[in-house]
Amino acid sequence: MLDGDVVRARLSPGLGYSREDRDANVRRLGFISELLSRNGVIAVVAAISPYRATRDEVKSRIPDFVEIFVECPIDVLASRDVKGLYKRAMAGEVANFTGVSDPYEAPLDAAVVVHSDCESVDESVEKIWAELVRRGLIS
């Protein structure tokens, strides 16, 4: 399990949140995932990857890449935000905030779309699991 924030803190401590820095972080996550998958390890990456072109670039290098899009309206995300970052971003206090002051380009062809505002965790997991079984990646 590769957490985007943990990888950023441990392997990319100098990166900020500009488009270039976000793309660099996603490419690094992709490289680690590619190495793991080439060696038979299932890599699950949990990261905000706001730019479609960079996601597609990484996706093209990993044969069994399964894109899961966790969709949720901004107001619901803000209501769940224990750090108060959405509120600060909406007040203009946080720059380059994905979905508020910086774009999020939704995938055009995600393998699974999870609607976290109206599905239970169990329902979402079942959708993901079913897709992985359908692809023959797990049994």
Q: Which residues of 49-67 are buried (b: 16+ CB within 10 A; e: fewer)?
A: bbbeebbeebbeebeebbb
d(CA 6, CA 39): 22
Indicate which residues carry an active-site annotation: 49
Question: Would you state the structure tokens that stand for residue 30, as one six-digit string?
Answer: 């992709």
Query: Residue type for 114, please?
Result: V
For residue 125, list its beta bridge partners.
Answer: none
d(CA 10, CA 120): 32
d(CA 47, CA 67): 11
